[in-house]
Amino acid sequence: MSEMWPAPFHPSPVTHTREVPGSKSMTNRAYILSALASGPSTITGALRSRDTDLMEAALQAMGTGIRRDGATIHVTPGPLRSAEVDCGLAGTVMRFVPPVAAFAEGPVLFDGDAHARTRPMSTILEALRALGVNVTGESLPFTVHGTGGAEGGPVDIDASGSSQFVSGLLLSAPRFERGVHIRHTGDTLPSMPHIDMTVAMLADAGVHVEAAEKSWAVQPQEIRGTHWAIEPDLSNAAPFLAAAAVTGGEVRIPHWPERTTQPGAAMLSILECMGCEVELEADGAHHTLRVRGPQPGHLLGIHLDMGDIGELAPTVAAIAACATTPSELTGIAHLRGHETDRLAALSAEINGLGGDCEELDDGLRITPTRMRGGVWHTYDDHRMATAGAIIGLVTRGVDVENIETTSKTLPGFAQMWAEVVAQ
């Protein structure tokens, strides 16, 4: 069994100001666009984590020049070449980099962690084949046989399992000889804000995307070298905001963007619905988010379709388990294909501590009960780890297994969490 981390128990109100590192989603999109650009790019405010390190290493192995100068990352596109890519457990690497590999001169082998081999991949690989790319394999490990270019054209995909299939194709679409016209054939499309983020960042690099309902068309065009200023990761801020909610305390997050495409921004309305006081305060050219939790016994449950914001579900489920009225989180069947089956994992771990969490076809029904201490398993899933920390604030004796899995997107989380309860 992995090393146990005694989650700090602090049921009295916390008061804390937390600086949050950059967005993983924006950082890894910036890396891809910079590697495919017509000239050099710079990135500031980038997240440094396992997922972003894997992205950087993948692109470097394929011939992209990446140099750090203090807080600035300089990216110089180079001729792409044959390489071996370690995806780890990073969905953005395993789904964004294969289309880039189509433009390499030679084969690019992709592999990753044991859990990564069970993550859905056939959608992006079949799409690449339809666009004229030679791919062998149906899941990790697989090989993209790059020839320096690819035809492109129309492609029908069912992206119900992950919006990353759409984003992965869009990011490389301008480099295909005929561009790419994506048509989504499924009934649902989770995490639309992430696709909106992709389209917005393509626009920042000078790329026009013709978007309609369930379709996106990109003509062959230049991707300009760009300066990317990465926003704080709002989904990584969510557990700290949850600390205010479950303890009735107050947490502030500096540099919160006034406008953003990040799904994590939805935490503001969610917390308000659960009884928190939320305020975005002007602070010079920036804004600071302030969240004050309700008095003990007044934290409310929530009934919410989280289809667009599934990455927040573990955090919201943890808050819901500490609330006073039931919650129902729906629209998140796609979470079964994330780092782990998050619906099964959250249900098992909440119930394992004496909670009452029922697994639904597309979500969770949580009825608050008095919970007890015990082991909270993480399944090598960073958001499961932070969910356990939230519950541990108000449940004595929670031991989180493998807290270091948070290094996937938020290195140093355990120390940051200790600082929350120290003030």
Residues of each annotated binding site for 3-phosphoshikimate:
24-25, 29, 162-164, 191, 311, 338
Residue 272 is a catalytic residue: no
CA dist 75 and 382 (Å) reads 28
ω into 190 cis (within 30 of 0): no
* 268 three-class SS: helix
CA dist 183 and 345 (Å) reads 32
Return phi, psi of residue 418, to 5°. Answer: -60, -35
Burial pattern 225-264, b for ≥16 Cβ within 10 A else e, equals bbebebbbbbbbbbbbbbbbbbbbbbbbbeebbeebbbbb
**Do residues 357 and 323 make contact, with C-beta atoms less than 8 angstroms apart?**
no
CA dist 242 and 349 (Å) reads 18
Please identify which of the residues 56, 250, 311, 401 carries the catalytic annotation. 311
**Do residues 205 and 223 make contact, with C-beta atoms less than 8 angstroms apart?**
yes
Residue among 150, 191, 187, 188 nearest 169 (CA):
150
Position 351, amino acid? N
CA dist 124 and 165 (Å) reads 6
Taking each helix axis as running N to C, give the angle between helix 342-352 and helix 313-321, from 0 to 180 degrees, rounded to the nearest 10. 20
Q: What is the number of alpha carbons within 13 Å of residue 6 lying toward its C-beta?
A: 5
Residue matched to tokens 């696709």: 195
Which residues are marked as active site? 311
